[in-house]
């Protein structure tokens, strides 16, 4: 029985991933901020053994202990998914450093505070899989979300280094670069054909972790779009409102 640890388990995507792992008969330990939502996710996974822990993952000082407790509850970890994040308010992060710091803390520092003890445990155990949700927003700074994008871009770079460090220990690290997904986090965003949906996105990310791929664009078509966005010369980029507009 695989032991699966999911951080940010109450998000729409993570909840779908938890359900998929439950269908496989994995033992789950779910961590999320909202106890009621956490209980709902656990109930959807009731066909398998599920334990939960409520906690705010933006509380960095508590995250090492959360990882330690989770490992103890599960008796080890085979698969870990870090799935929490917050888009924040870009305009607010431009007016206030406190707002910017909150976005950077949730989307970059919080995952790192979990990855340090988690990576150390799996390295010592000589095996395991880590999947971390980042974003295509981290591929290039755009006025509409560059604070969030900077956090996700920094996280992707961190994961590159971690992946090479853990490779000799047989631990895979998969960077899950998601495009926009139709979830409560994007409820105020105008939707278009490029938006993914939680269930298929969850299937894709679980499959990527299964295959131990270094990185995966989800949905897949972002793997064709982002190289063009990244390589567009800045003078042209700034003149294209659909890329550089708010």
- The whole-model pTM stands at 0.94
Whether 176 contacts 84, CB under 8 Å: no
Q: How much is the pLDDT for 184?
A: 76
Domain count, the chain: 1
Which CATH number does the domain housing residue 45 bear?
A: 3.40.50.720
What is the structure's pLDDT at 187?
Answer: 66
Return the exposure string of 181-219: e unless at least 16 CB atoms fall within 10 Å of the residue's CB, then b. Answer: bebeeeeeeeeeeebbebeebbebbbebbeeeeebbbbb
Residues 6+ positions from 32 with CB-CB distance below 8 Å = 8, 9, 10, 11, 38, 41, 52, 54, 55, 84
Q: How high is the pLDDT of residue 183? A: 77
pLDDT in tens for each of the 246 residues of the chain?
Answer: 899 999 999 999 999 999 999 999 999 999 999 999 999 999 999 889 999 999 999 999 999 999 999 999 999 999 999 999 999 999 999 999 999 999 999 999 999 999 999 999 999 999 999 999 999 999 999 999 999 999 999 999 999 999 999 999 999 999 999 999 987 777 676 767 788 899 999 999 999 999 999 999 999 999 999 999 999 999 998 988 877 778
Nearest alpha-carbon partner for 13 in 148, 184, 152: 184
Residue 76's pLDDT is what? 97
Reference 85, options 41, 40, 118, 134; nearest CA is 134
Local structure of residue 109 (DSSP, 8 states) = I
Q: Would you call 178 exposed, middle or buried from its count of C-beta atoms within 10 A (0-12, 13-18, 19+)? A: buried
Written as six digits, the tokens of 140 are: 């290039």
Which residue in the block uniquely carries the two structure tokens 């209980």? 39
For residue 245 the two structure tokens come to 């507009």
CB burial string 100-126: b at 16+ within 10 A, e below: bebbbbbbbbbbbbbbebbbebbbeee
Q: Phi and psi at residue 115, in whole multiples of 5°?
A: -70, -30
pLDDT of 191:
65
Name the residue range of residue 240's domain: 3-244
Q: Is the Cβ–Cβ distance between 52 and 104 less than 8 Å? A: no
């Amino acid at each position: 029985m695989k032991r699966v640890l999911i951080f940010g388990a109450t998000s729409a995507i993570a909840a779908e991933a938890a359900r998929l792992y439950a269908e496989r008969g994995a033992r789950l330990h779910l961590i999320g901020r909202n106890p009621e939502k956490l209980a709902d996710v656990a109930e959807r996974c009731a066909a398998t053994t599920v334990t939960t822990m409520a906690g705010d993952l933006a509380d960095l000082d508590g995250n090492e202990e959360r990882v330690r407790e989770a490992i103890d509850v599960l008796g080890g970890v085979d698969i870990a998914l870090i799935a929490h994040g917050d888009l924040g308010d870009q305009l607010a992060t431009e007016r206030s450093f406190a707002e910017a710091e909150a976005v950077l803390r949730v989307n970059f520092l919080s995952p790192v505070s979990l990855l340090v003890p988690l990576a150390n445990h799996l390295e010592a155990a000589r095996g395991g899989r880590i999947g971390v949700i980042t974003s295509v927003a981290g591929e290039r700074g755009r006025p509409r979300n560059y604070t969030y994008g900077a956090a996700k871009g920094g996280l992707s770079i961190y994961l590159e280094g971690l992946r090479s460090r853990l490779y000799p220990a047989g631990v895979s690290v998969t960077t899950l670069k998601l495009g926009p997904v139709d979830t409560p986090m994007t409820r105020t965003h105008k939707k278009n054909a490029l938006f993914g949906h939680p269930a298929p996105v969850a299937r894709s990310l679980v499959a990527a972790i299964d295959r131990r791929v270094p990185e995966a664009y989800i949905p897949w078509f972002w793997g064709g779009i982002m190289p063009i966005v990244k390589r567009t010369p800045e003078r042209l980029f700034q003149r294209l409102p659909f890329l550089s507009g708010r």
